[in-house]
Structure 1
Amino acid sequence: MSKRAYNFNAGPAALPLEVLEKAQKEFVEYQGIGMSIMEISHRSSQYEQLNDETQSLLKELFAIPDGYKIMFLQGGASTQFAMIPMNLLKPGKVARFVHTGSWAEKAIKEAQLFGETAVAASSEADKFNRIPDVSNLQLDANTAYLHVTSNETIEGSQYQQYPDTGSIPLIGDMSSDILSRPVDVSKFAMIYAGAQKNLGPSGVTVVIMREDLLNDLPKNISTMLRYEIQAKNNSLYNTPPVYSVYMVNLVLKWIKENGGLAAMEKRNREKTDLIYQAIDNSNGFYRGVVDPGSRSIMNITFRLQDEELEKKFVKESEQAGFVGLKGHRSVGGLRASTYNAVPYEACKALADFMADFQKRNS
């Protein structure tokens, strides 16, 4: 096989090489059944076993307590932006949000279509260069839920601590940092994540929901958009994204084989430290976008002195085998997405490239 690119794409993103090789081996015939996993019925015993095993693996790795349902849904996290208020925002209640950037804003705008919303805390005044202080949030009794975006993929900020909301449901969009570190799931009433960053390929969205939230949900919304229907049918109400769930299964096994979430966090911090050090030790040649206390271990955002130099950086990095280092079109700059599957060697190569680029352009 030819040399693989240094893949820093923000999503769809890098997958573990071992997972890709396992999927390649099983692509034509899955476990001796004479068919690909993509060809079998989702009502078959083989798929039901895969579906159940994938849930069990996620529950084990993420330390999900009893009393939660795991669902594999479609439509990405963006569909959850609408599905959550459709199901959980009742008349007389207010959906509250911590506004941390681009993805939080999308969630707010969707919720506004279905009911009353409010921003409980925001870092907009600081151009979203930090996570706002949520240690002493005061939430009114009419709060339906508090929604947080665990990691802002575009801005490059990440929660270091989550708010304590007491009896008010806390909902977390963890699309870009789920399974990157241990999390106390019991703090959350609901966690959701599109798979295409840390869990697998695009096509499936994981929803982890506390069972009490499934009670007394509205019956006047589309069947496919009702959590109670999806939970009752074990995510098999209609044809699920079979291959995407299969790939999530392989990724979860890879995480388990590599030490679980504590090991993932250690590895992620070690490899991202290489890049943050290249930024911080550059005497201002590179500038980190996010306040150090809110820096993400999944998406590293930085700038150079001007846009022309940034364009040169992107061009030369691509020639050197790096992919995905151009910042999001809405904010510009540069971004390295360092999800679980991005190896230490890729981050070391990027840090070395950054040092060399600085030397040649200072």
Structure 2
Amino acid sequence: MDAALDAVIGKVRQAAARARPLRIRGGGSKDFYGQRLHGELLDVRPIAGVVDYEPSELVVTVRAGTRLRELQALLADSGQCLPFEPPQFGVGSTIGGAVAAGLSGPARASVGSLRDYVLGVQIVNGKGELLTFGGQVMKNVAGYDVSRLMAGSLGTLGVIVQVSLKVLPVPPAEATLLFDLSETSARQQLNRWGGQPLPLNASCWADGHLAVRLRGAQAAVAAAARSMGGQALAPERAERQWPALRDQALPFFRLAPGEALWRASVPDTATPLNLGPTLVEWHGAQRWIKATPADATHVREAAARAGGHATLFRGGDGSVPVFTPLAPALAQIHARLKHEFDPAGIFGPGRLYDEF
């Protein structure tokens, strides 16, 4: 065990003994996300570096404080990638923070979510114990899948110190097509394409324009581009636009004073929610909406009617919950899990919900 990990374990044990809250932090690029930040800072950036990477096995094991950019560069040297495209929101974004946030990028609807690629984790629990779950192969789970439970936990269950992830080869071909369509027409067209053997990878609709990214074999991408039509986007522009969408650097995501960014997760067949300026991703399943925190009831009721839920992603003022309140039975499960991993309640109290 090295000095950096020893220091984290020691700090957790001290905090537990004194019932002193801790706020786990990597690069801090997602500090905006969640209900509130509370507790003494526990910096995991010193726990960094690649533990094991064998390209032929399509698995990488990396320590949590490793920067995403460094990991992506390593994978790119072997022609591989993190297909779920974790948002970075800043140069200091770490792989541990990415897993803790559980966010996936533009390709999520086609390739799966971040949690689908988590094979194993090593964490420090609320007692200061170093625990390992999962492993480095795909079929390694017997019983409760704790590794994937850490995805989206926002540091409320334990300190993620090491992660094993499945990686994939970079597709040999890519093309982006543009179409002028209304939101309803774009959704209908995406649903039609979804029923065909096309290499759809990502989509984005905003302000009357639909962009569709194709990825796959050279012949498949070329054939799809011919059959789908539209206008081809220059590769150098596409290389800028999709990462900008992933990291919310497009003009749409600029918020005016008092404005908030809501994330609605709904079935991809849901009709337009008509709640304000909207950007649609994931072939219709993820909808970014500009409204205000005061619109919480209206936004959440509309998302629920469509069969989904809504999160106050950015711009909250503390007056409304960031995450949709849990049903009593589900809240009880969350509380029990929290108590098992963090009996003293020291990890990020109130980050997910006020109760825990």
Same fold (TM over 0.5): no
More strand by share: 2
Query: Relative CO higher for 1 or 2, CA cutoff 8 Å, sep ≥ 6?
Result: 1
